[in-house]
Amino acid sequence: MENTLVEVLVGQVWHKVYASLKGEDLIISIADDATLDAHTATTGKHSSLNRAGSNSTRSHHNSSNTNTRTTTNNNNCNNTNTLDGLTGQKRVVRVFKEDNSGLGISIKGGSENKMPIIISKIFKGMAADRTEKLYVGDAVLAVNGEDLREATHDQAVKILKRAGKVVDLEVKYLREVTPFFRRGVLLSEIGWSESTTTTTNASNSHNNNGCNNVNSNSLKRNKSGKNNFWPSEFKSIPLGLCYVCRNVTYVDSENRIVELHSPDLKSLIMRFTDERTASSWFSSIHQLVEHITKQHIPIFNDVRSSDTKSDIRHLGWISEQLSPDSLSRTWRRLFAVVTGVDIMFYNAVPTCLQEWNLPAYSHSLLTSRLVHSSRQQTKSPTTPTSTSPPSTTTCIELLTFGMRSGVNHGVEGHVFKVETSKELSNWTRAIVQGVNNAVLLLKEIATHVKYKGQSCRLTLHYEHGFTLNQLNISNGYEGHRHEDDLIWKKPFEKLKSSADDGSRLVWLQFVDDGEQELDLESNPKPFVFILHSFLAAKVSRLGLVA
């Protein structure tokens, strides 16, 4: 996939850039000034783009506080004539700083680079931005009367820092350098830079809990100017462990949008010229990310320093449905991990041992089961546009699977969305096989129950079935189990049916022996799900043997 013209969403405005895949990175580049224009006409005419509900865990598409007024302020974008009129004119702008706050600008240049000191970025909401009289591309000639025309970059920084609360800036707008900085600002707001997740290793996981917050700047320049394959600037966006999806944070009626979300929830929304191109790019990126993700399983297992039972067997991004209403579906992104005994869900990819130990939520595989997997067409509302009726819906293909888990308060159900048929097969197989393997790993589970008023221990064993023993309490300690303590023992094959009251009682109906009532003294659903898992594992083994 090379040098494809695509639109990216920055600050709710579409910008045209070039995209290419190189190794494990997505390369975003800007060819010329024309590609920096905000294509609002295209958005209004063609887009049926709608946020797919609100979600507190969602990032707002990388809308940064470092946006410059030249790219985010409509008045400035539409005021080209004003800027042209300022070109070459000296101006003095007074800036009032707040306590413990700077001017709110970034500068480039300096005498060592044979360049004037130039404002390259204006931070939104800070002192310089509030004047509404400073622009990216302004050369700073003097600060409170102190000449900067021969100053180095470091000298200029020091002078600006010690300027006081009231700062008079003598500036001159240089129109010719503005496109250069506009390109840099736009690139800095697209996507994300090097992910710390991909560099986390076992050695640093034990130092400082493995949390490593190092970011590297991936903004690069073609310094030689001789290679015209890439435009003058480009940004390399690592795709490792990112979430590649469609119709998760936005509903796309035209199937032209591909969503990319970084391991730490930064977002890049890409809109292609047609559905075919979008599908081709989606497939290429998705396959690449899938390959990279598999390579991280042994790395993560080293970081977690887990025993064999807790080793990761399957992992990846999925979306969980938050609202059951098919016409107002909202989804939240989750990084899901299946180990030998658990399935865990994280809001972002864990980067250290401490984060691995704190999932958003988790369930034991023994108390969980897959209840459905489906492929269906569903309708979602679209945003009214100039070419669509006030209220329309669009058909979207959904690949989903459902899971239920027995928990202390009853039963929890979850519906998850995946992106491809292969993913659907992989996740359903991972859960079904995961449950069976968890039974084989643990072999037996024991729980306290009351049987006919007696305190007992009920044991489920993969090979031996049910065993009920009376507990002998002596001096505050449980006595050892002896054959004399045995109340009854039944193989799984003798179980005819089971039922529970949803509160604390379970009834087991055995062939030839009638019904046995057990009081679990807590919600019986976890036990019922565990029983189902043992039975499913037995059936699975019989099926394999047959």
CATH number for the domain harbouring residue 115 = 2.30.42.10
Contacts of 418 (CB under 8 A, 6+ apart): 318, 319, 399, 400, 401, 424, 427
Specify the pLDDT at position 493.
92
- 282 or 88, which is more confident? 282
Residue 145 CB neighbour total at 10 angstroms: 8
| Residue 520's CATH number | 2.30.29.30
403 phi, psi to nearest 5 deg: -135, 140
Residue showing tokens 């064999």 = 308
Specify the pLDDT at position 75.
38
Is residue 498, in this structure, part of any structural domain at all? yes
Last residue of a domain, one of 280, 295, 310: 295
Contact call for residues 75 and 408 (beta carbons, < 8 A)? no
Is residue 67, in this structure, part of any structural domain at all? no
- 252 or 155, which is more confident? 155
Specify the pLDDT at position 474.
56
Is residue 13, in this structure, part of any structural domain at all? yes
Average pLDDT over residues 205-221: 41
User: What is the extent of the structural domain holding 127?
Assistant: 89-174
Specify the pLDDT at position 544.
54
451 shares its domain with 531: yes
Residue showing tokens 């299946």 = 338
What is the distance between the alpha carbons of residues 108 and 128, in angstroms, rounded to a whole number?
16
Is residue 493, in this structure, part of any structural domain at all? yes
The conformation of residue 366, written as its DSSP 8-state character, comes to: G
Specify the pLDDT at position 507.
96
Last residue of a domain, one of 245, 279, 295: 295
156 shares its domain with 243: no
- 455 or 376, which is more confident? 455
Specify the pLDDT at position 389.
47
CA-based torsion, 145, 158, 138, 76: positive or negative: negative
Number of domains in the chain: 3
Confidence of residue 115 (pLDDT cuts 50, 70, 90): confident
Q: For 145-154, 300-309, 496-505, which range has the lowest pLDDT when averaged over its residues?
A: 300-309
Residue 413 CB neighbour total at 10 angstroms: 10
Contact call for residues 29 and 17 (beta carbons, < 8 A)? yes
Q: Which of 434, 439, 436 is nearest to 315 (CA)?
A: 434
Confidence of residue 269 (pLDDT cuts 50, 70, 90): very high
Burial class (CB in 10 A: 0-12, 13-18, 19+), 382: buried
Is residue 58, in this structure, part of any structural domain at all? no
Is residue 368, in this structure, part of any structural domain at all? no
Cα dihedral 140, 109, 123, 270 in deg (nearest 10): 140
The conformation of residue 409, written as its DSSP 8-state character, comes to: T
Average pLDDT over residues 181-194: 76
Q: Give residue-wise pLDDT tens across range 41-69.
A: 333 333 445 556 544 333 333 333 333 34
Last residue of a domain, one of 254, 274, 295: 295
454 phi, psi to nearest 5 deg: -100, 145
Contact call for residues 546 and 513 (beta carbons, < 8 A)? no
Mean pLDDT (the chain) is 80
- 145 or 42, which is more confident? 145
Contact call for residues 517 and 501 (beta carbons, < 8 A)? no
What is the distance between the alpha carbons of residues 392 and 49, in angstroms, rounded to a whole number?
12
Confidence of residue 438 (pLDDT cuts 50, 70, 90): very high
167 phi, psi to nearest 5 deg: -125, 125
Average pLDDT over residues 335-360: 95
Q: For 172-176, 363-367, 427-431, 483-487, which range has the lowest pLDDT when averaged over its residues?
A: 483-487
What is the distance between the alpha carbons of residues 315 and 299, in angstroms, rounded to a whole number?
13
Is residue 10, in this structure, part of any structural domain at all? yes
Is residue 69, in this structure, part of any structural domain at all? no
